[in-house]
């Protein structure tokens, strides 16, 4: 069955450093992969989408890579700030792209310390 794995342990880093979060998947070849941010008590918020034919996507301090050979995506936050502290979820296309269905990883909690 399709499976997505994210670092289960919280990631603690110092302000100003680069945070790198990992998303690995098996038994699937998605056409795209997405990253979401979720704050406590709130719904996830979309951050970035990267397609299978794209190696890298950037948005401000965020960078996502997608290696379909390794079946892995890396999510980087450069010059991290305490406000970046949240849980980050990766999500893959699930089934036909027409449906928009997603399968989510469990999320990695990032804590940025001042």
Residue numbers of the site for other proteins (CB under 8 A)?
Answer: 32, 34, 41-46, 49, 89, 91, 93-94, 97, 99-107
Phi, psi of 50 (to 5 degrees): -130, 135
State the minimum distance, in angstroms, from the CB of residue 16 to other proteins: 29
Element spanning 91, H or E:
strand 86-93
Nearer to other proteins, 73 or 93 (CB): 93
CA pair distance 98, 17, nearest whole angstrom: 39
Question: Which stretches of the chain are DSSP H helices?
Answer: none
Nearer to other proteins, 13 or 103 (CB): 103
Nearer to other proteins, 44 or 77 (CB): 44
């Amino acid at each position: 069955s399709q499976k997505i794995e994210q670092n289960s342990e919280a990631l603690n880093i110092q302000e100003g450093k680069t945070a790198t979060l990992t998303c690995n998947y098996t038994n699937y070849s998605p056409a795209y992969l997405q990253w979401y941010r979720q704050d406590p008590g709130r719904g996830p918020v979309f951050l970035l989408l990267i397609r299978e034919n794209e190696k890298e996507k950037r948005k401000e301090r965020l960078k996502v890579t997608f290696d379909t050979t390794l079946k892995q995506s890396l999510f980087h936050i450069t010059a991290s700030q305490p406000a970046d502290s949240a849980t980050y979820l990766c999500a893959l296309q699930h089934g036909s792209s027409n449906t928009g269905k997603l399968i989510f990883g469990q999320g990695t909690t990032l804590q940025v310390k001042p």
